[in-house]
Chains A and B, each alone.
Chain A
Amino acid sequence: MNPYPFIHPKGPSLSTTYDAHDTYLLEGVLPYVDFIEITPDSIFRRRNGISEIQPDILKDLLSVSRDVRFLVHGVGLSIGSWEGFDASYLDNLDLLLPHIDCAWHSEHLGYVKVGGDNLNTMLAVPRTDAMLELLIPRIKTIQSKYGMPFLLEHIVHLLPDYQPEYSDAGFLNLLTAETGCGLILDLYNLECDAHNYGFDIESFLAELDLGAVREIHIAGGAEYLGYKLDIHSGKVADSTLNWTRQALAHTPNAEAVTYEILPEAVRLHGAQFVIDEVARISSYFNFTKHGHQNTSGNPAAADQNAAVLCAG
């Protein structure tokens, strides 16, 4: 029996990042995607010390809300910080979620803060019992707060592991078994680890409970001082597409394959670059757009929001 209640009958759909106001990009990718990935940390701004969604981006999201569902993918939660996760990230989630039809939300299995100090990079958590004790109640708190699936994404390991008590897959398997949370499988992250220190992707996939994978991430990055970085700055390499094809054959619950690209890279390459890449990935996997009926339960609310924003 499959323990996961989210088997997708139609197979996976394509998804891509939208984190900066660019209607040309949004309209260009729309024919190919069923999901749009948004990052609260990117689409919010601060005014007078208060966080708010950038109005032009919210307006863009609402304008396509009948056509796609949204995947909220955070970077600022810092679920692995010893002192606790950053509650202000959840405050922003509380502001965002009423506006959109969010299929699920997710975060990285890592930390970006130490003692309140911002690292400006993300580090992987130690794979230890002590860490599991910290993480499991935090995941459960988040799950019970929001009535939607919560997914965790494994991240690259640039620094040496601190006395690991579990393998990478074994640690993820324990987390998903204990909490029922889903996983994002990021094939590009795995390729970075394979390049940087010989990580064995095949063994990882063989050990991982692939039934827990609900979303797959792909991206293209860059090398620096011989290290492959998960910088999401370019085209997806053939090797990443190959790994993704193999993974899809064993991830029956994967509903979305998300092509991730940083807004900074979109500015650098231009929107057409991203649209072309989304089209190429779509045709590589033979994805078809499934289409959605808006299942947010309250499309009228979205219309109202749009009207308010347009009036403003």
Chain B
Amino acid sequence: MQADSSSYERELAQSPSLAVVRDIARWWRAYQLERYCLITSGLLQVQGDFEAAVADFYETTQNVPAWIEDAGDAFLRFIARRPDPVAASLAEFEAALIAARKGELMSGRVIDWNVHPYEVLRTALSQKMANEWTPGRFQTLVSSNIDGYFTVFEMN
């Protein structure tokens, strides 16, 4: 039985269709996350890091939920923990924005930024990399109770 299983594994590993199946899963994961986390995905795409980030997320996260709302929130938490502070702020911001739009963030959430949030949002949504973002100390307050769901404060 052991020998049979390993010969099947060898056959599977050599099968060209295995790569196709992997691509389908990769494509589907990226497509769903891209639609759910539009802004963060936009920034990662401009930075050329989106596909690697999705692959990394699925490789390092146990039991990623099937529901895109749950998987998407987990992906944003994952990006928020990565070393890039701008992408981390944006992921935290987008998670808060999604919750605010669903009416689930009445108390509000504050997110710190080390560059101007509007410039990052413009980059992510236009898919055009800015020359550089204006550095500084900024905060966004995100809440279901705010018109447009967020407001930006410059802290300097």
Q: Which residues of A approach B to under 8 Å, CB–CB?
A: 41, 44-49, 51, 76, 86, 112-113, 116-121, 123, 158-160, 162-163, 196, 224-225, 227, 229, 264
Which residues from A are CB-within-8-Å of B38? none
B4 touches A116 (CB 8 A): no
CA distance A48 to B106 in the complex (A): 14
Contacts of A113 in B (CB 8 A): 66
The one of A44, A86, A121 that contacts B25, using a Cβ cutoff of 8 Å: A121
Q: Is the interface of B mostly helix, strand, loop or mixed?
A: helix
Contacts of B20 in A (CB 8 A): 158, 224-225, 227, 229
List chain B positions with a Cβ less than 8 A from chain A. Answer: 4, 8, 11-12, 15-21, 23-25, 28-29, 31, 62-67, 69-71, 102, 104
Q: Which of B19, B65, B69, B102 contacts A118 (CB 8 A)?
A: B65
CA separation between A227 and B29, bound complex, in Å? 20
**How far is B63's CA from A255's CA once the two chains are assembled, in angstroms?**
39
What residues of chain A lie closer than 8 Å to B31, measured between beta carbons?
Answer: 264
Task: Report the separation of the CA atoms of residues A224 and B28 in the bound assembly, to the nearest whole angstrom.
Answer: 14
The answer to whether B11 and A160 touch across the interface, beta carbons within 8 angstroms, is yes
Q: Is the CB of A47 within 8 A of B104?
A: yes
B21, A121: Cβ atoms under 8 Å?
Answer: yes
* Contact indicator A51/B64 (Cβ below 8 Å): no
> Once the chains bind, are A123 and B21 in contact (CB under 8 Å)?
yes
Closest-by-CB residue of A relative to B32 is A120
- A132 CA / B77 CA spacing, docked (Å): 41
Is A121 in contact with B4, judged by CB distance below 8 angstroms? no
Q: Which residues of B contact A45 (CB under 8 A)?
A: 67, 69
**A196 and B19 alpha carbons, distance in the complex (Å):** 14
On whether A224 and B23 interact (CB within 8 A), knowing A46-B69, A160-B15, the answer reads: yes
Is B23 touching A159 in the complex (CB atoms < 8 A)?
Answer: no
CA distance A30 to B18 in the complex (A): 40
Q: By the criterion CB–CB under 8 Å, are A227 and B66 in contact?
A: no
CB distance from A118 to the nearest CB of B (A): 5
Q: Tell me the complex Cα distance, A229–B24, Å.
A: 9
Chain A hits for B67, CB < 8 A? 44-46, 51
